[in-house]
C-alpha cells in the first residue's frame, strides 16, 4: 500500500492549497500520511496518520510547555493536532507515542554517546515511514526509529544509518532502548 511522507523545512513549497489537496487525496485513497512539520502551517496537516514534531516545535506551536510524561496532556495535544498518532521526539529522553485509543508510551533513548543531533528528526521520520510501509505497527515503527536515531546521533553531521548498524543497535543495543515504558498507566499492546 502506498504511504505519503512529507518533511517540510518552511521554504514555501508546501502551501496550504497543496497540503489540503494532497491530504484530501490521500484520505480518499486510504493512503497513510506521515508529517514532520515546522513552524509555518504547523496546524495545517489535519487528519495526518502520524504527526512527528520535536518537543521544541510542539511547545512553540502550542504556546505552552510540553508534558510528555502526562498521558492526558499527550492525548489532548494529539487531539488538537487531529492525527492518529503523535510521535514526539524528546532528544536525550527518547520519544513518546500517543495513539488514538491506545494511550501513551515512552520509548527511552539509548545511553549511546551523542556526537551530533543534526538529522535525527529526519532519520525518525524516514524509518517510521519505511517501517509502516513494510507493515509494522506504529509501536514497532517507533521502536525501530528509536534504534535508528541512536545510531544516527552517534555520528558527526547529518549521517545515514545502515541496515547492519540498525540490526546491531536493535539486537544488543545499549540498555535495550526499544523497551517501551508505560506512561501514566497507559500502554500500547
- Please, are residues 52 and 87 in contact by the beta-carbon 8 Å criterion? yes
Contacts of 67 (CB under 8 A, 6+ apart): 73, 74
Kind of pairing, strands 181-182 and 103-107? antiparallel
- Please, are residues 181 and 105 in contact by the beta-carbon 8 Å criterion? yes
Which amino acids are annotated catalytic?
A: 122
Q: How many CA atoms lie within 13 A of 11 on its CB side?
A: 4
CA torsion angle for 43, 70, 117, 13 (degrees, to 10)? -10
Rounded Cα gap, residues 129 and 36, in angstroms: 11
Q: Residue 170 has which C-alpha cell? A: 536493535
Query: Inter-axis angle of helices 71-81 and 55-62, to 10 degrees?
Result: 70
Amino acid at each position: 500500500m502506498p504511504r505519503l511522507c512529507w518533511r517540510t523545512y518552511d521554504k514555501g513549497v508546501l502551501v496550504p492549497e497543496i497540503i489540503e489537496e494532497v491530504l484530501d487525496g490521500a484520505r480518499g485513497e486510504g493512503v497513510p500520511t506521515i508529517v514532520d512539520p515546522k513552524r509555518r502551517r504547523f496546524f495545517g496537516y489535519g487528519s495526518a496518520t502520524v504527526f512527528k514534531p520535536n518537543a521544541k516545535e510542539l511547545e512553540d506551536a502550542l504556546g505552552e510547555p510540553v508534558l510528555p510524561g502526562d498521558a492526558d496532556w499527550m492525548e489532548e495535544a494529539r487531539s488538537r493536532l487531529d492525527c492518529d498518532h503523535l510521535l514526539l521526539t524528546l532528544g536525550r529522553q527518547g520519544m513518546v507515542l500517543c495513539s488514538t485509543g491506545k494511550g501513551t508510551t515512552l520509548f527511552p533513548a539509548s545511553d549511546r554517546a551523542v556526537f551530533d543531533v543534526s538529522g535525527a528528526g529526519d532519520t525518525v521520520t524516514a524509518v517510521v515511514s519505511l517501517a509502516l510501509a513494510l507493515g509494522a505497527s506504529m509501536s514497532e515503527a517507533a521502536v525501530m526509529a528509536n534504534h535508528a536515531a541512536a545510531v544516527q546521533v552517534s555520528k558527526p553531521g547529518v549521517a545515514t544509518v545502515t541496515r547492519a548498524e540498525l540490526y546491531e543497535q536493535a539486537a544488543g543495543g545499549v540498555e535495550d532502548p526499544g523497551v517501551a515504558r508505560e506512561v501514566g498507566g497507559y500502554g500500547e499492546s
